């Protein structure tokens, strides 16, 4: 064990690995922080570079770039209310509200600090618990995924600040959008209007960029410039994080654990982890009324959760070659290419390489703190820049980013269309985040439901009689019925007391 | 400085023109490729097709001395990229990677494009499907599994590996037909690719999968599944113990997902010949072989005419299978 660890240290302490890792970190931070460019894209664009690197250096670039990009997606979310990734969308409103209150450094500091904590917790779970965690992943069939996706969708109403009815409406618009295309269980083109481009459906990323970034630019053009945030030196970023860690210790651990579990389940990933954790944080908070007004509690939990899921998402990838999310899918390709074929033998025969990968994760998460602070300081100049210079730059980033996804003009059109949709929705009080959640989860809900019914020959019994499925079903139905019961109880209680009074 | 006279101006213009002309002449007569070539990939960056295209492009660049730039044109489930290759100018400066979907999409009525819309250059890879069951499955040989399928009511057995009407679905349909069974004898459970299908197989949600061996490899090596047979003419190098369908059942059925390089229709003959010759060098290079065997991808060579014949045969077979499965548009 110690020998392998020393060997692993030897593998990563070469100039090639160190330089590759630093360069990839900076690259990941920059790409992730630009609105319209995503963490997945940052990773995909690195693949050709990994051709020329040694195996460990190649993995180092992927690990460093993806961890950094997921965190730095929080930066435009907090400063401009434009989340960089769907994972940041859950709490972008909250972080922006903190910035408006003059607490940008606390919001971003919490982002970088709890991202690093979550990332390290996820890595430890990967090191210590990989085999039992993998067993969890392999006990999930489509029946369980259906309930899980349904629980994810329910978070839309919990997270939203607006009326639950409008949140549900927003989510349904998202579900409708996810119906577009041929990528459905039946393999039948739906709502494509005969357009080839629509066959592939609407991806969550262009929709996200449209409803947040483009709509934000449109609003900026129509509203007078808000009173500038008082010009002052950006305070210490790490100060106060330790206090937060102690104050929200339990929330942080809950975020880590939820993130690790959701990350291990292939197909769920960081997006769902952030949503579920943010919703849980609000649900179980002592001060739920503060959520949405610039309250850091949800950021702590969700920030820890999404980075924990990034590391634990490697468990099914490394053991079975099953990607936990799109980034892991790319990483698996690189692993194969470099002769580090996923499978249990990787943990035994190539143990030193495995330990090197663990170490890379830990180093990447530690490096995230100083590099992230530098990035936050640089990005904070955006707050001082006049809006008339910032908005056109965002627009250019959106156009370039959406084109670069598929070298296809259709992406740009999609972003523009969702900009208009997002603007109209927000102007009428419908939360766009709920719609994004609908698009992310829609395909999963449908796929899981239809394929489950095919497998059970149309019987819905297996949704309830498989053990894990039954637990998830209880949770999902409980989450649905609970508010109704509370409402009924409140309605009936005054009547009961009223009826009781005369007899006294 | 003296002023520029009309004569001097004329002379210098003529000289410049002459230099330009001299400079241009060798350029236009210069052999293909005289400038960078674009290689279109119809699938996203980071996937298997993208990786294969990138290694081929890097080696072509080394051989022909001009950059070969890989461009991912995604969207429309592959239709967008495939049509970008077909509609490019046939000058040899835009080529692309075709995948098996080109022989399937037109039967579904998704596009007019078929293998005849291209100038085939070379077939580089083919991965045949395997037949995998969970490690807890009672079936030890493909014969036992086939007998159980025959004895069961249609739709009792559930299989997966890709979406509805995808290549592995049609592999299953082809296998059923080769055994004289109806196309729907085994129900197809559409999945979002091979990896989720293999996961569901291990989770006990499916009876079998018909995805390729490289896709199933990690789960098999983890001891969660086993492969009973490959639908190929020969055994797979990574799994030499897995018999072919012909060996174990006497059924001569083989299919597979393939990747090849092609240009738009009407590519000049000299350009096409040069590219095919260069692709042959790429195919024979140690770098390509190492890369493909690391990824677990099969290597199959076919020159321009062989690739064309291969696609024609596959296209016709796909038509039959898709009509039988009710997937083809009438």
Chain A residues in contact with B50 by the CB 8 A cut-off are 47
Between chain A and chain B, how many beta carbons pairs sit less than 8 Å apart?
A: 167
Give B160→chain A minimum CA distance, Å: 10
A462 contacts chain B (CB < 8 A) = no
Burial of A49 (C-beta count, 10 Å sphere; 0-12/13-18/19+):
middle
What are A330-342's pLDDT values in tens digits? 888 888 878 788 8
Cβ separation of A198 and B76 shorter than 8 Å? yes
The closest CB to that of A333, out of B46, B158, B165, belongs to B46
Give B110→chain A minimum CA distance, Å: 8
Whether B311 contacts B304, CB under 8 Å: no
Cβ separation of B189 and A139 shorter than 8 Å? no
Cβ separation of A337 and B291 shorter than 8 Å? yes
- Name the CA dihedral angle for A257, A64, A444, B176, rounded to a multiple of 10 degrees: -120
Orientation angle between helical segments A104-138 and A92-100, nearest 10 degrees? 170
Residue B299: is its pLDDT beyond 50? Answer: yes
pLDDT at B22: 45
Mean predicted confidence (pLDDT) in A304-312: 88
Domain ranges of chain A: 2-227+239-503
Nearest to residue B70, comparing CAs of B43, B34, B99?
B43
Whether A441 contacts A149, CB under 8 Å: yes
Residue A263: is its pLDDT beyond 90? Answer: no
How much of chain B exceeds pLDDT 70, in percent? Answer: 90
The closest CB to that of B75, out of A406, A454, A457, belongs to A406
* A110 membership: H or E segment, kind and range: helix A104-138
Whether B90 contacts B119, CB under 8 Å: yes
A224 contacts chain B (CB < 8 A) = no
Most confident of A132-136, A339-343, B147-151: B147-151
pLDDT at B194: 87
Cβ separation of A320 and B218 shorter than 8 Å? yes
A467 contacts chain B (CB < 8 A) = no
Cβ separation of A137 and B199 shorter than 8 Å? yes
Q: Hey, which residues 4-43 in chain A have their CB within 8 Å of chain B? A: 43
Q: Are strands B68-72 and B157-160 parallel, antiparallel or unpaired?
A: unpaired
What are A198-212's pLDDT values in tens digits? 888 888 888 988 999
The closest CB to that of A197, out of B48, B80, B223, belongs to B80
What are A416-451's pLDDT values in tens digits? 999 999 999 999 999 898 898 899 888 889 989 999
Mean predicted confidence (pLDDT) in A282-309: 88
Nearest to residue B133, comparing CAs of B198, B70, B75?
B198
Helices (H) and strands (E) in chain B, counts: 11, 11
pLDDT at B29: 46
How much of chain A exceeds pLDDT 70, in percent? Answer: 95
The closest CB to that of A408, out of B75, B155, B204, belongs to B75
A185 contacts chain B (CB < 8 A) = yes
Q: Structure tokens of A135?
A: 């067993």
- 């949709």: which residue's tokens? A421
In this structure, what DSSP letter does residue B77 have? G
* Phi (first) and psi of residue B301, to 5 degrees: -100, 140
The closest CB to that of B46, out of A47, A51, A187, belongs to A47
- Supply the mean pLDDT for chain A: 86
Q: Which residues of A110-135 are buried (b: 16+ CB within 10 A; e: fewer)?
A: bbbbbbbbbbbbbbbbbbebbeebbe
Whether A312 contacts A133, CB under 8 Å: yes
Give B87→chain A minimum CA distance, Å: 15
Residue A143: is its pLDDT beyond 60? Answer: yes
The closest CB to that of A451, out of B48, B71, B191, belongs to B191
* Phi (first) and psi of residue A108, to 5 degrees: -70, -35
């Amino acid at each position: 064990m110690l020998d392998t660890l020393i060997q692993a240290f030897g593998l990563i302490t070469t100039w090639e690995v160190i330089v590759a890792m630093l360069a990839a970190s900076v690259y990941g931070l920059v790409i992730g922080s630009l609105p319209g460019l995503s963490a997945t894209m940052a990773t995909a664009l690195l693949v050709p570079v990994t051709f020329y690197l040694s195996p460990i250096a190649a993995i180092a670039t992927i690990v460093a770039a993806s961890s950094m990009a997921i965190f730095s997606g929080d930066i435009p979310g907090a400063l401009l209310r434009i989340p960089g990734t769907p994972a940041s969308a859950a709490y972008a409103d909250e972080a922006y509200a903190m910035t408006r209150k003059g607490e940008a450094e606390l919001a971003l500091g919490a982002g970088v600090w709890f991202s690093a904590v979550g990332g390290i917790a996820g890595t430890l779970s990967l090191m210590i618990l990989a085999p039992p965690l993998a067993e969890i992943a392999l006990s999930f069939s489509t029946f369980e995924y259906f309930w899980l996706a349904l629980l994810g969708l329910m978070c839309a109403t919990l997270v939203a600040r607006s009326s639950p009815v409008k949140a549900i409406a927003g989510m349904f618009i998202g579900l409708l959008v996810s119906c577009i295309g041929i990528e459905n269980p039946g393999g039948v083109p739906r709502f494509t209007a005969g357009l080839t481009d629509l066959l592939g459906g609407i991806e969550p990323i262009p929709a996200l960029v449209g409803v947040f970034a483009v709509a934000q630019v449109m609003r900026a053009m129509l509203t007078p410039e808000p009173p500038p945030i008082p010009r002052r030196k950006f305070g210490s970023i790490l100060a106060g994080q330790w206090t937060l860690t102690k104050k929200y210790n339990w929330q942080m651990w809950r975020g880590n654990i939820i993130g690790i579990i959701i990350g291990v389940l292939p197909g769920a990933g960081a997006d769902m982890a952030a949503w579920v954790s943010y919703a849980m944080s609000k649900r179980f908070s002592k001060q739920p009324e503060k959520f949405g007004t610039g309250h850091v509690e949800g950021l702590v939990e969700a920030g820890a959760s999404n980075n924990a899921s990034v590391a634990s998402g490697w468990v099914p990838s490394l053991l079975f070659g099953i990607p936990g999310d799109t980034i892991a899918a790319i990483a698996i390709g690189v692993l194969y290419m470099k002769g580090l074929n996923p499978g249990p033998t990787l943990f035994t025969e190539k143990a030193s390489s495995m330990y090197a990968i663990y170490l890379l994760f830990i180093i990447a998460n530690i490096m995230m703190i100083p590099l992230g602070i530098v990035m936050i300081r640089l990005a904070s100049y955006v707050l001082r820049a006049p809006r008339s210079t910032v908005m056109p730059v965002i627009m250019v980033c959106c156009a370039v980013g959406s084109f670069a996804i598929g070298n296809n003009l259709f992406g740009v059109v999609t972003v523009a269309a969702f900009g208009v949709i997002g603007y109209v929705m927000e102007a009428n009080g419908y939360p766009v985040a709920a719609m994004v959640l609908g698009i992310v989860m829609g395909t999963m809900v449908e796929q899981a439901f239809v394929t489950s019914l095919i497998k059970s020959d149309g019987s819905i019994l297996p949704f309830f009689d498989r053990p894990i499925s039954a637990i998830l079903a209880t949770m999902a139905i409980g989450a649905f019925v609970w508010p109704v019961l509370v409402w009924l109880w409140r309605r009936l209680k005054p009547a009961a007391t009223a009826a009781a009074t005369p007899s006294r | 400085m003296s002023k520029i006279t009309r004569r001097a101006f004329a002379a210098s213009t003529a000289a410049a023109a002459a230099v330009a002309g001299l400079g241009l002449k060798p350029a236009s007569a210069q052999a293909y490729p005289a400038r960078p070539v674009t290689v279109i990939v119809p699938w996203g960056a980071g996937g298997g097709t993208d990786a294969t295209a990138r290694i081929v492009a890097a080696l072509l660049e080394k051989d022909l001395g001009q950059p070969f730039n890989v461009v991912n044109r995604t969207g429309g489930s592959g239709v967008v990229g495939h049509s970008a290759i077909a509609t490019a100018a046939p000058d040899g400066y835009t080529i692309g990677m075709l995948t098996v979907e080109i022989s399937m999409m037109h039967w579904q009525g998704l596009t007019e494009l078929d293998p005849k819309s291209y100038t085939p250059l070379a077939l580089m890879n083919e991965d045949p499907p395997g037949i995998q069951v969970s490690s807890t499955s009672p079936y030890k040989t493909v014969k036992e599994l086939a007998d159980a399928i025959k004895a069961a009511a249609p739709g009792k057995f559930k299989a997966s590996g890709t979406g509805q009407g995808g290549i592995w679905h049609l592999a299953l349909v082809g296998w059923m037909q080769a055994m004289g069974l109806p196309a729907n004898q085994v129900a197809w459970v559409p999945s979002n690719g091979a990896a989720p299908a293999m996961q569901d197989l291990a989770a006990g949600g499916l009876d079998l999968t018909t995805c390729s061996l490289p896709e199933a490899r990690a789960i098999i090596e983890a001891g969660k599944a086993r492969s009973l047979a490959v639908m190929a003419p020969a055994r797979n190098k990574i799994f030499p113990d897995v018999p072919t369908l012909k060996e174990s059942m006497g059924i001569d059925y083989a299919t597979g997902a393939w990747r090849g390089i092609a240009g738009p229709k009407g590519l000049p003959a000299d350009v096409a010949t040069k590219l095919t010759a260069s692709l042959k060098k790429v195919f024979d290079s140690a770098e390509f072989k190492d890369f493909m065997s690391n990824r677990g991808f099969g290597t199959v060579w076919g020159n321009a005419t062989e690739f064309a014949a291969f696609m024609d045969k596959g296209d016709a077979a796909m038509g039959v299978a898709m009509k039988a499965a009710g997937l083809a548009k009438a």
